[in-house]
Structure 1
Amino acid sequence: MSIIKDWTPEKGRAFTRENLAFEHGLHERPMFDDAGLEQLLDTYPREKLGVFTMGEDPKAWTTWRRGRADNLSGGQLLEAAKSGRIWLNLRHTNEYLEPYRQLEAEIFAEKHAHAPGLKTFKRDLGMLISSANAQVFYHLDVSLVTLWQLRGQKQVWVYPVEEPYVGEQDLERIVLRETAEQFAFDPAWDAGAESHILTPGKMVTWKQNAPHRIENGPMLNVSLSIEFMTPQALMRANVIYANGLMRRRLGAQPKLVDGFTPGNIGKLAVARGAKALNLQKPNERVLPPSFRLDAGRPGLLLPA
């Protein structure tokens, strides 16, 4: 039985190339009920767990703060998400837990069956467990993304991959890891965005590097976020990387063009050579924990 209920030949051909919305059945699986989530939080490597909180103004992306969960049980963490204002990010769940590795294999087998010629790698299947009214600020991802809603409701705005929403030099700074994936947002840009209301059984995917932001409804939200690469997506990422190097080291003014052109193949070689020689030093600033969750009062954030 298919996970996605509304594959069409048109959607299969457009997958990874266009913004698309789908219907799915993953929310019906018991692994995403409270007991399943508590088990997930108990068995996922605690040192890998991302715990975050944030302000309420969608422009105030610098209020995004990292925290600690210490030795809270899975049940306590789930209660903290239900009663507080936090965002739990479980990256690469498929690498650590066998049921999620099997789920990743199942999802991608279906994608490959319906999208002609699709080849995928660097797959990151992550779980997101987040509080009522929590948000993720305006940002973009280097890889391709599919976002599956399992519980609760959220609104997702997806913006065009062009000025003024994101410029080529913005992309270069992010791919070169000179800056974080979050950056300044103008609420006026909502007029040019696609807006999706995600309820259980809805999934959206968007063009590579499309800026987006998310606001939860007034209830616990559980989502599945899958990042992945294709040969075309990896080429684009390497071309952006090479363009950034050429701009910084040669004073060039390169333009971003998609596809396996001779020029892009040359830029791919430049990017791979620069990475091998470690010519571009990434900004490795890690957001230090500024709060911790309290076991006795799950919704309370204490100083770290």
Structure 2
Amino acid sequence: MTTADPIVTWPKDVGDRFGRETLVLPHNLHQRQMFSDQGLIDLLDTYPREKLGVFTMGHDPVDWQSWQVGQAGDMGGKDLLAAVEAGRIWLNLRAVNQHLPAYDGLCEAIFADKEAHVSGLKTMKRDLGVLISSPNAQVFYHLDSPLVSLWQIRGTKHVRVYPPKAPFARPEQIEAVVLRETDEQIPFDPAWDKEAQEITLEPGMMVTWPQNAPHRIVNGPMVNVSLSVEFMTPAALLRANVIYANGVLRRRFQMEPEIQSGLDPRALGKFALARAFKAAGLQKAHEHRLVPSFDLRDHVPGTHPGRPG
């Protein structure tokens, strides 16, 4: 298989549906040797350790505050995989395409395939992440500022996607994420599940959903490996700037703005406003650095210096 081979089986009407609705499509990335056990060990051994996200979480889908950050020290890739298999761990390797040439090539191939099959699609701000997570682990209800596609490589994931509107995501909550006032998590009501689109992702399946659509994820009873691909299009970047401008107008000028879609003159005006607000420094992003609360080496015997194996 070469990077020129088709990656996704795209429907003929994908150009009309992409970015506007939730799409579940087959892909062939799970067949690549880079996602074998040894491939993952090599990835974990070469990815910059200071960039590795190590997390654990509780079982209650409402208790997003149980999401905790940890550290892995100098654990090798083999021990990291063992900790994932044995624990309740979520490893997030963000922007792998910026650090490892093989994944940069994979990222280029993914977007070349997208742009070749989705008429008129132009992408930017590309981010390819690798997620390696434990059996039954979960990601709490949240939303993202960019467009996202989730590619299942190993294991199964149960994904629920909710409409990007109130009550599932109120305008001020979307604004808070875009303005980086808060992390991506927002309050969740289990009653909303009846309005969610439910998808069970298996190896060789990819899902993408509309921009800012809230979603939550629960792993099946096995180790999971997935790709999280974030990106912008001109329309998505316009929407993000409209939301940014709305957030500043709401917070600084006590206005109640609405989100405009497409090339609406008001949207273009808010795009210019957002650029002006950013240049003026009216809205400062907040840093949300969680202090590590656990050491992953404690979960694998013999991997913590000075502790018995």
**TM-score interval, smaller chain:** over 0.9
Where does 1:147-226 land on structure 2 (aligned, <5 Å)?
Answer: 147-226=150-229
Where does 1:20-169 land on structure 2 (aligned, <5 Å)?
Answer: 20-169=23-172
Shift of 1:231: 0.4
SS at 1:8 equivalent: coil
- Aligned pair count reads 300
Partners of 1:251 and 1:95 lie apart in 2 by: 40
Partners of 1:25 and 1:288 lie apart in 2 by: 38
Where does 1:268-283 land on structure 2 (aligned, <5 Å)?
Answer: 268-283=271-286
> Greater CA deviation, 200-209 or 161-170?
161-170
TM-score by length of 2: 0.94
**Unaligned residue ranges in structure 2 (runs of 5+):** 305-309
Shift of 1:91: 0.4
Partners of 1:12 and 1:21 lie apart in 2 by: 14
Shift of 1:296: 7.3
Shift of 1:30: 0.8
- Matching residue's letter, 1:19: T
Shift of 1:74: 0.8
Partners of 1:92 and 1:31 lie apart in 2 by: 16
Residue number in structure 1 paired with 2:307:
none
Partners of 1:296 and 1:183 lie apart in 2 by: 30
Partners of 2:302 and 2:60 lie apart in 1 by: 20
**Unaligned residue ranges in structure 1 (runs of 5+):** none
- Matching residue's letter, 1:232: A
Q: Does 1:3 align with 2:11?
A: no
Shift of 1:277: 2.2
Aligned residues of 1:242 and 1:267 also touching (Cα < 8 A): yes
SS at 1:128 equivalent: strand
Shift of 1:13: 2.8
How far does the alpha carbon of each residue in 1:215-241 deviate from its partner, in whole angstroms, 9 at most, with x for none?
Answer: 001110000110000000000000001
SS at 1:232 equivalent: helix
Aligned residues of 1:146 and 1:226 also touching (Cα < 8 A): yes
SS at 2:221 equivalent: coil
Residue number in structure 2 paired with 1:287:
290
Shift of 1:172: 1.0
Aligned residues of 1:139 and 1:212 also touching (Cα < 8 A): yes
Could you list the runs of 4 or more consecutive aligned residues of structure 1 that deviate by over 4 angstroms after TM superposition?
298-301
- Matching residue's letter, 2:22: N
Partners of 1:300 and 1:19 lie apart in 2 by: 42
How far does the alpha carbon of each residue in 1:235-286 deviate from its partner, in whole angstroms, 9 at most, with x for none?
Answer: 0000001011111111211111111222111111111111122211122131
TM-score by length of 1: 0.96
Shift of 1:12: 3.3
> Greater CA deviation, 159-168 or 45-54?
159-168
In structure 2, the CA distance between the partners of 1:296 and 1:204, relative to structure 1 (3 Å rule), is closer
